[in-house]
Amino acid sequence: MHFFWKRLLGTIPSLIGVVLVTFVLSHALPGDPAAFFAGPAANAESIAEVRAKLGLDRSLPVQFFHYADDLRRGQLGNSLTTGQPVLNDLIERLPASLELTFFALLFAVAVAIPLGVWAATRPDSMVDHACRALVSIGAAFPTFFIGLLFVYLFYFLFDIAPQPLGRLNEIMYTAPPRITGAYTVDSILAGEWSVLRASLAQLVLPSVSLGMFALAPIARITRAAMLQALGSDFIRTARASGLPARKILFSYALRNAMLPVTNVLGMVFSFLLGGSVLIEQVYGWQGVGAYAVNAVISSDYAAVQGFVLAMALLYVLLNLVIDLIATAIDPRVRFES
């Protein structure tokens, strides 16, 4: 428990830095939100009136003081584009992004770990080079390019994927009752299996497009950790004792190699959550990524700041969870940290 609180308190300076940097950078965005919301036919007087109404006529230190006071009260301000509290917008949209990111990570883990193990069992062979080349090529292309390519191939050319209309084709299906906000989970809880199948069909292309980005780091870490484990003394002892090769590989080597792999999963999940911004635009996915893009275009300061702060909090919490999992796998980590 002491380890948990120590790590949690250590994140406070980072969060304060994120709040300060985000505020400064969001106000440095090009464009004037007052002019944007006043409209193209507005004159200088009406723009100044909108600016005063939004509080943008105050100095930056005063604006930051009011922003920090709102954060102290658990408020992220109101979005200028939606007219709703930013916190409500993020709570409504975040499950969609988390659902997409989870399935992308699930795909990456299901492909990258077996490839890493396979490559480690045959080091410097054709299999090893082929596995490394495959994951490197998959990660070399930008996510939006992979997404557009998949849409062209599997929807437009071969017509085997559903239309990229977001989380669900709402012309044919009705969204399940909101419980968690994730359609796959909510459809299971509601027993709506046709909606579950439709949601999974919509998830395939965006999750694979996003997951391609994570193949390389997970496969490389798995390969390196497996090589180290297979070359250790306890593996040589197990081989000398005549244990089956499969048991040595999976029960001993892979189990010990999972610690560095687990550590990198938190970082990869955070990168995928940030990288989902472009994928959400390609597939019409109404998550926080699409919300942030619209906020940046309209210079919606509160929405941009809320998005970055939410991502920072998620990153901190994910790394804390990964640390706790690492201590469960190997209790020595707690003392070494």
Q: What is the CATH number of the domain that holds 276?
A: 1.10.3720.10
- How confident is residue 245, by pLDDT bands cut at 50, 70 and 90? confident
How confident is the model at residue 336, as a pLDDT? 47
Q: Which residues pair with 277 in a beta bridge?
A: none
142-198 tens-digit pLDDT: 888 888 999 999 998 988 888 888 888 877 888 899 999 999 999 999 999 999 999
pTM, two decimal places: 0.81
pLDDT at residue 216 greater than cutoff 50: yes
Range of the domain at 223: 92-286
For 133, list phi and psi in degrees, rounded to 5: -65, -40
Mean pLDDT of 119-133: 85
| Structure confidence by residue, pLDDT tens digits, 37-80 | 666 777 777 778 877 877 777 777 888 888 788 787 877 878 87
Secondary structure of the chain as H, E, C letters: CHHHHHHHHHCHHHHHHHHHHHHHHHHCCCCCHHHHHHCCCCCHHHHHHHHHHHCCCCCHHHHHHHHHHHHHCCCCCECCCCCCEHHHHHHHHHHHHHHHHHHHHHHHHHHHHHHHHHHHHCCCCHHHHHHHHHHHHHHHCCHHHHHHHHHHHHHHHCCCCCCCCCCCCCCCCCCCCCCCCCHHHHHHHHCCHHHHHHHHHHHHHHHHHHHHHHHHHHHHHHHHHHHHHHCCHHHHHHHHCCCCHHHHHHHHHHHHHHHHHHHHHHHHHHHHHHHHHHHHHHHCCCCHHHHHHHHHHCCCHHHHHHHHHHHHHHHHHHHHHHHHHHHHHCCHHHHHC
Q: What is the dihedral of CA 317, 319, 325, 328, to 10 degrees?
A: -110
| Average pLDDT rounded to a whole number, residues 117-140 | 83
Question: Tokens 């440095």 identify what position?
Answer: 28
pLDDT band with cut points at 50, 70 and 90 for residue 333: low
pLDDT tens per residue across span 285-316: 888 888 888 888 777 778 888 888 888 888 87
Residue 61 lies inside a defined structural domain of this protein: no
Q: How many independent structural domains does the chain possess?
A: 1
Nearest to 169 by CA among 155, 180, 179: 155
What's the rounded mean pLDDT across residues 132-145? 81
Range scoring the smallest mean pLDDT among 17-21, 53-57, 88-92, 196-200: 53-57
> What is the distance between the alpha carbons of residues 144 and 150, in angstroms, rounded to a whole number?
10
d(CA 240, CA 283) in angstroms, rounded, equals 54
